[in-house]
A = this chain, B = another copy of it.
Amino acid sequence: MKTFVNPDRKDWKFICSRPEDDHSEIENRVLEIIRKVQAYGDAALLEFSEKFDGVKLHQLKVTEEEIRNAGNAVSADLKRAIAMAKENIHRFHEAQKESPVKIETRSGVEVWRKSVAIEKVGFYIPGGTAPLFSSILMLAVPASIAGVKEMILCTPPGKDGEVHPAVLYTASVCGIKHIFKTGGAQAIAAMAYGTETIPAVYKIFGPGNRYVTFAKQYVGRKDVAIDMPAGPSEVAVFTDGTGNPDFIAADLLSQAEHGTDSQVVLVSTNKEIMEEVLEALHKQKESLPRKSLVEGALSESRMVYFGNADTAMEFLNEYAPEHLIIASSQPDQYEDKIVNAGSVFLGNFSPEAAGDYASGTNHTLPTNGYAKAYSGVSLDTFVKKITFQKISREGLSQLSKAIEMMADAEGLDAHKNAVTIRLKQ
């Protein structure tokens, strides 16, 4: 880890910078994939599966039998764990429901806003060695609460043509009926534009590699909505010296194991604890199966000392971490100073892993500094908030002068006339 001591404000931007992801080399390859899916549909998807997943599929859609078999392959313990996580995620997101509040801005001018579910959404779940079934809970549970009618899921098959049982089982308990074996940029293209088998959706969600990320950004420009721009996962831990170095090291490592491009940052107002965390890191990482990934990520990571806690919090707001852990026995004093973060973990017994899986908060969060302008996935992400107004003749007469004056000043006579003609009657 690189260490900085009381860095000058002009250097913050550099210290906060994430590794630049140069898309240009993959850009053309992704565009080519998207165009092929648009032109050839399912045939293109099957060809890409052979090429990238190493398997010749006969059909894209997962069968009911495969889903039943997956249910049998998942242990009772894991099923209980998934059920508990699902329940907590449900409780947290259920509390985000809003009822329309009707107000009268003037007598006879009733205005309100109503949340209405997005009708069709698509989830992408990456394949590979770590089957991220927890992301299905984070997407499908709020989508169901919102009232989404059609949820589909795309995920790449393994070399045996199968999808991991935990993925199929979780999708099935979340009520997802349409699961397709396709991955990468081609899956994003399929959900954006539709194929013979895969229906086009209105919004696409979920994590993925650089191909998936770029494909989402591309289709998200104007063809379909996406959850948020994405980048590698990251955590920042702040400690004032009342944190526990072993816990902090464990949290940093749990982020670092996501991949060599994961970023972890430790900010502290106490030099001793920084040393202790470093020692604990070296000790703990030895026993991790993903040790090489972890070491790659740590080599790119940063430790920053500040003499002053307020400055440290300002620095963290500039960094705008996806996850922010306040490792302190008195964490409440920092809460109101946090302006830019995806999700915040307060105190020594709130590890990021709790929010990743089971405490109820969502783990689909803005990375790469996007927390300055983006929120994580929530119930809001699955609804449109439609505004309504109902104006009486009397209400309109109260607004009429203002509307007519403003329309006139903007040179829009027909706007003015739409009011005038009503009140002339």
Mark each residue of chain A from 124 to 144: 1 if its CB lies under 8 Å from any CB of chain B, else 0: 000001111110000000000
Known contacts A250-B414, A346-B389, A340 near B384 by CB under 8 Å: yes
Chain B residue nearest to A390 in the complex (CB): B346
Cα distance A366–B386 when bound, in Å? 10
Contacts of A96 in B (CB 8 A): 113
> Taking the full assembly, how many copies of this chain does it contain?
2
Contact present for A250 and B417 (CB under 8 Å): yes
Contact residues of A between 83 and 114, Cβ < 8 Å to B = 84-85, 87-88, 91-92, 95-96, 101, 103, 105-106, 109, 111, 113
Contacts of A81 in B (CB 8 A): 401-403, 405-406
Contacts of A193 in B (CB 8 A): none
Does A284 count as interface, using CB distance less than 8 angstroms? yes
Interface size on A, residues (CB 8 A): 127
Stretch of A4-12, A50-58, A299-307, A353-361 contacting B (4+ beta carbons < 8 Å): A353-361
Contact residues of A between 382 and 414, Cβ < 8 Å to B = 383-393, 395-396, 399, 401-403, 405-407, 409-414
Contact present for B222 and A399 (CB under 8 Å): no
Contacts of A399 in B (CB 8 A): 84, 88, 354, 357-359
Stretch of A152-160, A251-259, A268-276 contacting B (4+ beta carbons < 8 Å): A251-259
Contact present for B349 and A393 (CB under 8 Å): yes
Contact present for A84 and B402 (CB under 8 Å): yes
Contact present for A78 and B409 (CB under 8 Å): yes
From B338, B355, B376, B403, contact of A358 by CB (8 A): B403
Cα distance A399–B350 when bound, in Å? 11
Mark each residue of chain A from 210 to 252: 1 if its CB lies under 8 Å from any CB of chain B, else 0: 0000000110111011000100000000000000101100110
Does A118 count as interface, using CB distance less than 8 angstroms? yes
Contact present for A415 and B254 (CB under 8 Å): yes
Does A48 count as interface, using CB distance less than 8 angstroms? no
Contact present for A256 and B344 (CB under 8 Å): no
Query: Whole-angstrom distance from the CB of A343 to the nearest CB of chain B?
Result: 4
Contact present for A92 and B85 (CB under 8 Å): no
Stretch of A62-70, A182-190, A288-296 contacting B (4+ beta carbons < 8 Å): A288-296
| A-B contacts besides A203-B373, A247-B421, A349-B396, 18 pairs, CB < 8 Å | A84-B399, A85-B402, A88-B106, A88-B109, A91-B103, A109-B359, A111-B361, A133-B410, A202-B372, A247-B418, A247-B422, A253-B417, A258-B412, A354-B396, A354-B403, A354-B419, A357-B402, A359-B391
A residues adjacent to B (C-beta < 8 A): 77-78, 80-82, 84-85, 87-88, 91-92, 95-96, 101, 103, 105-106, 109, 111, 113, 116, 118-119, 129-134, 166, 202-203, 217-218, 220-222, 224-225, 229, 244, 246-247, 250-251, 253-254, 256-258, 284, 288-290, 294, 331, 335, 338-362, 366, 368, 370-376, 378, 380, 383-393, 395-396, 399, 401-403, 405-407, 409-419, 421-422, 425
- Between-chain CB contacts (< 8 Å), 23 pairs: A81-B405, A88-B399, A132-B410, A202-B373, A203-B373, A220-B221, A221-B221, A247-B421, A250-B418, A257-B414, A258-B412, A284-B417, A288-B417, A335-B388, A343-B389, A345-B391, A347-B392, A353-B403, A353-B416, A354-B396, A357-B402, A358-B403, A380-B380
